[in-house]
Amino acid sequence: MDEQEDYLSTEFKGIAAELWSHNAGWWQEGFTEGADPEYTEQLLPLVARLVGKAERILEVGTGEGQVLRQLSRTAPRGLLVGVDPTPEQLRLAAERAQGERYVRAEAGALPFRDACFDTVVACLVFEHVTDLEGALAEVARVLEAGGGFIFLLNHPLFQTPDSGWIDDQVLEEQYWRIGRYLEEKRTVEEVEKGVFIPFVHRPLSRYLNAARACGLVLEEMVEPAPPAGFLALAPEYYEARFVPRLLALHLRRS
């Protein structure tokens, strides 16, 4: 990283941290505890299936802990630990905890010894992480050989910045526009009125090649159609039902 890139990266990280703190309540109210059909109908069951009977699980970017709480109910587990850099998320996670433990840390500096987890989960987190290679190296370091990395992202191809449903009144066509997929870019997006969230867009090959360089190799890839409860929320969601919103990768530590 050159000096200017280093400076921009640090500045973006600072802004991102403030935005996550500021918007913690928005996330908690709109996306947790059954408020969001994509979580209840799709994300939580999918993570539970991919995690299976794993016993020592770390969740990176755990938010208010909904993924770990769900995992604590699906099988007996020896250890469930969640990390997140946002204090407002961790406070609520600790209040709602059902036996899981929560620690303040970010993806690029995990405060755990080598090979102490059999599974790491990251659910809609790495598209907010600036240093991809550093974070993946940390995931690989704390995973035991043969351990699984359950890696969920807003689909990096179809949900590129400036992608979306276009209802073209002139051409009388409707289609899904893809933004500048190949351009790696940090953005702050207004995801709904007055709510600004930091994103880092990267092409899918960046994720897979960086993971492979750390010894994390693809075992399964899932691109589910948006679930029924989500499609029911707006007519244009239904029109775009063949465009996946989610990408789930099950990677294995070689």
Ligand X SMILES: C[S@@+](CC[C@H](N)C(=O)[O-])C[C@H]1O[C@@H](n2cnc3c(N)ncnc32)[C@H](O)[C@@H]1O
Residue ranges in contact with ligand X by CB under 6 A: 20, 27, 60-63, 66-67, 84-86, 89, 106-107, 123-125, 128-129
Name the residue with the smallest CB distance to ligand X.
Answer: 63
The sheet that has 117-123: what strands, in order across it? 101-104, 79-84, 56-60, 117-123, 143-154, 246-253, 216-222
Residue 63 vs 156, nearer CB to ligand X: 63
> Cβ of residue 197: shortest distance to ligand X, in angstroms?
8
How far, in Å, CA of 72 to CA of 76, rounded? 7
State the DSSP string of 53-119: T-SEEEEES-TTSHHHHHHHHHS--SEEEEEES-HHHHHHHHHH-SS-EEEE--TTS--S-TT-EEE
Q: Pick from 206, 212, 201: which is nearest to 158 by CA?
A: 201
DSSP type of residue 226:
P
> Cβ of residue 239: shortest distance to ligand X, in angstroms?
25
> Cβ of residue 173: shortest distance to ligand X, in angstroms?
33
Residue 12 vs 239, nearer CB to ligand X: 12
> Cβ of residue 97: shortest distance to ligand X, in angstroms?
14
Residue 96 vs 252, nearer CB to ligand X: 96
CA distances (Å), origin 26, targets 18, 20, 63, 125: 14, 10, 12, 16
Residue 222 vs 239, nearer CB to ligand X: 222
> Cβ of residue 66: shortest distance to ligand X, in angstroms?
5
Contact 74/44 with Cβ under 8 angstroms? no
Distant-in-sequence, close-in-space partners of 193: CB < 8 Å, separation ≥ 6: none
Residue 6 vs 168, nearer CB to ligand X: 6
Residue 124 vs 211, nearer CB to ligand X: 124
Residue 137 vs 239, nearer CB to ligand X: 137
The half-sphere exposure of 140 on its side-chain side, counting CA atoms within 13 A, is 18
The half-sphere exposure of 15 on its side-chain side, counting CA atoms within 13 A, is 16
> Cβ of residue 8: shortest distance to ligand X, in angstroms?
16
Contact 160/201 with Cβ under 8 angstroms? yes
> Cβ of residue 177: shortest distance to ligand X, in angstroms?
23
